Structure formats: structure tokens, C-alpha cells
Structure 1
Amino acid sequence: MTVLTRGLLLLIAAAVLMGCQSRRISEQTVYVEREVETIYAAGIQQLERRSYTDAADQFDEVERQHPYSEWARRAMLMAAYSNYQAGNYEEAISDAERFIALHPGNRSAPYAYYLVAISHFEQILDVGRDQQATLNALNALEQVVRRYPTSRYAQDARLKIDMTRDHLAGKEMRIGRWYLRRGFYLAAINRFRNVLREYETTTHTPEALHRIVESYVALGIDQEATEVAAVLGYNFPGSSWYEDTYRLMTEEGIAIPNPDLEPENPSYWQRAMDRLFG
């Protein structure tokens, strides 16, 4: 055995021995109780340093060492906030929901509900992925608005609800376009109509109307295409989607009613809406 080999073996043996000793020391670490104010202050200090995971650990320690104190209630919500800032959204949701379960009537309950909602919101993925996180966010945001409509959190929740609904509509549009490209026109129409029924206030509405026109034209159903095109022109006359619809209809030789004029038959618009929502 060479000197180099013996030296290497000695180094490995020393490292193993040091590891064993370190592990024994760790296992024998003595639990030291600290004053609740001291632990809570340490959590605040970590927050100020933006060491959010460490802050959450300190606030959790408040609960562990002083579970029945007033500080523990505060620490529970602070841990939720710290985990949210750290991007530990599931932990933030768990902490906030535990606060709600234990202190439902507390004046900080609206904030706890809001933390749950925005923690779900931050987990929303692109429209090509599963949308369960989006649905969870929508339900949680609507709960904030429903329970605390006049709170300062409700206004932001309403804005995020609009964004979330737009996201869900985008998922429907993506699937509808996929069907349309492959010639599954009836399946595509159903998806686009669902956008109009469920998410009519989102930014996807003009495109959904145009895609329905495309589908009807491809199926050779000119009357239905004309009625939907009229609805698009009446509601979104200056949009690029109406321009695309107008060009498509013109190329196919299909006349479009002037959206600025009321049709002679008063039931025209009703029939057109029935096509979309019936």
C-alpha cells in the first residue's frame, strides 16, 4: 500500500469519525426554553432582514414553546405571512387556515382568508397546464369578497378574480383552438360558447365570437355565422377580431348586417343570443 493510499484512507476514516461525533452532539442538543417576547422579536428581526424562512421558524417556535399565550396567536399569522413571502405557499395556506379554524371571529381573520387566497393565486400556472390551482384561487378570492365585501382586502381580491377568470377563459380558448385546427368544429363551438357563458366579461370574448363564426363558416352554416358576426360587430365594432370576421365573411361571399342599424326583425338579436347561450 502506497503512502498516498494510506493517507487517503486516514482522511476518509477521520471524516467518518468527525461525522459520527457531530451526529452524536446534534442528537444530544439540549432544549432551551426562551422568553416568548425574545422568540417573537427574533422572528421580527428575521423578517426585517428578509430571511423569511428563518422568520417562519421563529414564529413556529413561539407556538411550540408558548402554545397558549397571546403571542402564539399572533405568531401563527406571522408564520403564514413569512411563509408566503418565502414562496412556501402550501405552508402559508396551512398556517392561515389553522388560524381561521382556531380564531374565526378574530379581527385578523379577513387577512388570514386573504393570505389563503393570494397563496393559491401565486401558484397559478400557464394555461397549458392543469388549472386546479386557478380554481382554488378563484374559490378562495370569492370567499374573501363574500365574507368581507367592505374590507380593504376585497378590492384587491376582486381584481385578482378578474385575472383568474381571464386565465380560466384562456384555458377554454386554448382547447377550442385545438379542436378548430383539427376540424372538430362542434367541439370547438362548445368550448367557445362556454367562454361566452362563464367568462363573458374577460378579454377573450371578442375572439371567442370570431372563432364561432369561423367554425360555422367551415360547417357551411351561413345563417348562424351571420348572426354571431352581427353580435361581434355590434359589441366590438372596432376590434381586430371583428375585422378578421368581416374579411372572412367577405371572402366567403356572406353578407353581414350593419351593426350600427337595428335589424328590421326585433327578434333578430334574441335569436343570435340564443345561438350563443342556448
Structure 2
Amino acid sequence: MSLPLIGAALALSGCSSTPVDNTLGWSPNKLYSEARDERDSGNFDKAVELYEKLEGRAAGTPLAQQAQLDKAYTHYKSGEPAQAQAAIDRFMRLHPTSPAMDYALYLKGLVSFNDNLGLFGSLARQDLSERDQKAAKESFESFKDLVNRFPDSRYSADARIRMTYIVNSLAQYEVHVARYYHSRGAHVAAINRAQSALTDYADAPALEEALYILVMSYDALGMDQLRDDARRVMETNYPQSTFLTQGFRKASDPWWKLW
């Protein structure tokens, strides 16, 4: 075969390997429908690809905005929180007055919320109070923004429940640390963390234990007046408490089973 013919053959070979876009000619509605089907079937990468095509072809339309949010949700469902957050932040930046802003805020909070814990999951042994608190605080702020800006949104009721859960968890985190300090004999540090919980998280279930840690830590330091004051507050607010008679709860009793 002559050189020109070889070159032509290689060129044809290269053309035959060019990916064919099977979505050419699809309407935006068909693209959206196919993307949802792929996502619902667990084909997350394919769904994201279709949502991105839809964003481009339907640019400037409400359907393109919906594609951006659905792409973020797909990343969330596929266990890619960083990509989900990036997609949500981009949507919020590009469409600050979108009618779907309440959903964007809800999804932003949901991405950071660990829904395999407490009321929302399988009651795993490790609870949110033993994990990094940064994500919990970010989730709370997103839900709070949603509730404040869109109190009547269909997503606000669930957001309020999750906010309560997060607050209780953050309170328990302080108590978790206070208990650790107390067990190590660092009673001043234990008192500081228990007081932080009492000051910052009113009505959280963990406050019963926070008061008990104060009683025990003040007693260990020989601060009888403060010990008695803490005990009096505890007996007034938790008259049926078993802490004073049985001590710390067993490990089999996770905090979130109390509420």
C-alpha cells in the first residue's frame, strides 16, 4: 500500500473511533427524562453527563436551572458531597432569585447532614457527637437560612427537625468532651465544656449529663458550694434523673434514644 493510501486509511480509522453523541436531536424534555431515569437506576455518572448536556442546550430556561439542581442531587446520592456542594453553590451564585432557592438551601443542608444517625437512619453505634462538627454546623446554617427566608416552604418543616437534631448533637459533643476530661481527672476542663453546653444549647437532652459532670467535677475539686448549687439545679430540672443514683449511663444507651 502506498504512503498516501496508508495515510487515508489511518484518517478513516481515526474518524471511526470518534464517539457518537446519541443525544443529538433529543429535545430538552427527553434529555431531562432520560437523565432522571439513569439516576433512578443508579447510573449516576451517566445521569450527570445528561444533566450537563441539558444545561448547555436549554441555557437560560427554568429547565436548565432544574438540571443544575438535579445534578447536585445526583452527586449527593452517589456519595460525592464536594461535587454536590460545588453544584449547589454555582446554582445559588447564578440564580439568586430563583423560585427554587428554598430547595437549593435545603439540599445544601442535606448534603452536609449525616442522615445515617439518630432519628434518620439505622441507629448506628457512633453518633454525630463523636464526629467532626464542622459539617454539622454548616448544615445547621443552611437549614436556618432556609427557615428564616422561606418559613412556609415545603422543606422548612423537615429542616426544623434536622436543626433540632443538630443542636442536640452539638450539645452532646460538648458533653462528650467534658466526660472525657472528667474521666482523665482534668476537672477544670470538664467544667468549662459542661458549662459551654449549658450556655449555648438550651433544652438539649445532653444538659442533664452536663449538670452531673459539674456536680462530680466540683466535688472532685472540693468546691462544695458550687457542687451543691449544680446538684440543686439538676434535681429541680431533672427530678427523675438516674445520674445521681446510677452514675453515667451504660454505653448501650446512646444519647439520641432519649428523645
- With normalisation by structure 2, the TM-score equals 0.77
What number of residue pairs does the alignment pair up?
223
Contact 2:174/2:193 (8 A) holds in 1: yes
Q: 1:139 aligns with which of 138, 141, 146?
A: 141
User: Which of 114, 117, 120 is equivalent to 2:112?
Assistant: 120
Q: Which protein has the larger Cα radius of gyration, Structure 1 or Structure 2?
A: 1
The counterpart of 1:195, out of the listed 174, 194, 197, is: 197
Counterpart Cα distance in 2 of 1:161 and 1:227: 31
Q: Is the Cα–Cα contact under 8 Å of residues 206 and 242 in structure 1 kept in the other structure?
A: no
Correspondence list, 1:252-271, <5 A: none
Higher relative contact order (CA 8 A, sep 6+): 2
The answer as to 2:35 corresponding to 1:29 is no
Percent identity between matched residues is 29
| Aligned counterpart in structure 2 of residue 54 of structure 1, from 15, 26, 46 | 46
- Give deviations 1:145-188, integer Å, cap 9, x for gaps: 11112212111111111111122122211221121122211111
Seen in structure 2, the aligned counterparts of structure 1 residues 29 and 121 have a Cα distance that, compared at 3 Å, is: same
| Equivalences for residues 71-150 of structure 1 within 5 A | 71-122=63-114, 126-150=128-152
Q: Could you report, residue by residue, the CA deviation over 1:105-151 in whole angstroms, capped at 9, with x for unpaired residues?
A: 22211011100011111389743343211111111111111111221
Select between 154-163 and 124-133 the one with higher mean Cα deviation.
Answer: 124-133
What TM-score do the two structures reach when normalised by structure 1?
Answer: 0.72
State the AA in 1 paired with 2:147. V
* 1:66–1:34 Cα change, 3 Å: farther
What corresponds to 1:229 in structure 2?
231
Q: In structure 2, how many angstroms separate the alpha carbons of the residues matched to 1:57 and 1:166?
A: 39
Between the aligned partners of 2:171 and 2:155, the Cα distance in structure 1 is 24
**Hey, what's the Cα distance between the residues in 1 that align with 2:221 and 2:64?**
65
Q: Which residue identity does 2:130 align to in structure 1?
A: G
Q: Which ranges in structure 1 are unaligned for 5 or more consecutive residues?
A: 1-23, 246-278
In the alignment, what sits opposite 2:255?
none
Q: CA deviation at 1:25?
A: 7.5
Q: Structure 1 stretch 71-80 or stretch 120-129: which is displaced more?
A: 120-129
Structure 1 window deviating more from structure 2 (200-209 vs 26-35): it is 26-35
Q: Which amino acid aligns with 1:87?
A: G
